[in-house]
């Protein structure tokens, strides 16, 4: 049974196939094993799309990044119309505490992509911040897509 997340109810597509629960990723256009982290990722993706108006056509899930000769994957990256990374979202399973390690993981992704907004969520808690002039600025709310500057 999936936990109720601290997000609005949105049309996350779930099915049971060959004895396993699957969730549909509208970005990769495929069914994935429904793990707690994938439940958060797909729920948050639709939250950003339906509530904050981020187009799915400008999103990427499991974005591959090369960091210090290792391959990492950012959970969700949203781009602007010029295909510049604007938002990076790191998702954890609901039972995972959003610790300093999680924030440090997200900051490493920032140095690879230089997005404007960084978000960490476990589906229960969500923290958004920006990194400007080498300083972290916590945001009181997640900015809508249209509020991001699309020209810089």
**Domain locations in the chain?**
14-147
Tens digit of each residue's pLDDT (9 = 90 or more) over 59-79: 999 998 887 888 889 999 999
Determine the pLDDT at residue 1: 73
Nearest to 3 by CA among 100, 103, 96, 119: 96
Pairwise CA distance, residues 102 & 107, whole Å: 9
Q: How far is CA 145 from CA 44, 88, 95, 102, in A?
A: 14, 13, 29, 24
Determine the pLDDT at residue 32: 97
Residues with Cβ within 8 Å of 32's Cβ and at least 6 positions away in sequence, in order, are 22, 23, 24, 25, 38
The pLDDT mean for the chain works out to 91
Examine the pLDDT at 45 and tell me if it is beyond 50.
yes
How much is the pTM? 0.92
Specify the pairing of strand 70-79 against strand 85-91: antiparallel
Cβ proximity of 47 and 7 under 8 Å = yes
CATH of 14-147, one of 3.40.50.1980, 1.10.1040.10, 3.90.1570.30, 3.20.20.70: 3.90.1570.30
């Amino acid at each position: 049974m999936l936990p109720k997340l601290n997000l609005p109810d949105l049309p996350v597509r779930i099915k049971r196939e060959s004895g396993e629960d699957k969730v549909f990723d509208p970005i990769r256009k495929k069914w994935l094993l429904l793990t707690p982290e994938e439940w958060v990722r797909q729920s948050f993706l639709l939250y950003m799309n339906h509530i904050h108006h981020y187009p799915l056509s400008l999103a990427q899930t499991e974005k591959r990044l090369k960091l210090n000769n290792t391959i990492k994957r950012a959970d969700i990256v949203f781009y602007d119309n010029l295909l510049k990374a604007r938002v990076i979202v790191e998702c954890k399973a609901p039972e995972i505490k959003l610790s300093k390690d999680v924030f440090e993981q997200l900051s490493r992704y920032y140095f690879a992509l230089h997005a404007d907004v960084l978000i960490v969520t476990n589906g229960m808690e969500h923290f958004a911040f920006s990194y400007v002039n080498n300083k972290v600025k916590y945001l009181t709310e997640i900015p809508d897509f249209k509020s991001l500057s699309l020209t810089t």
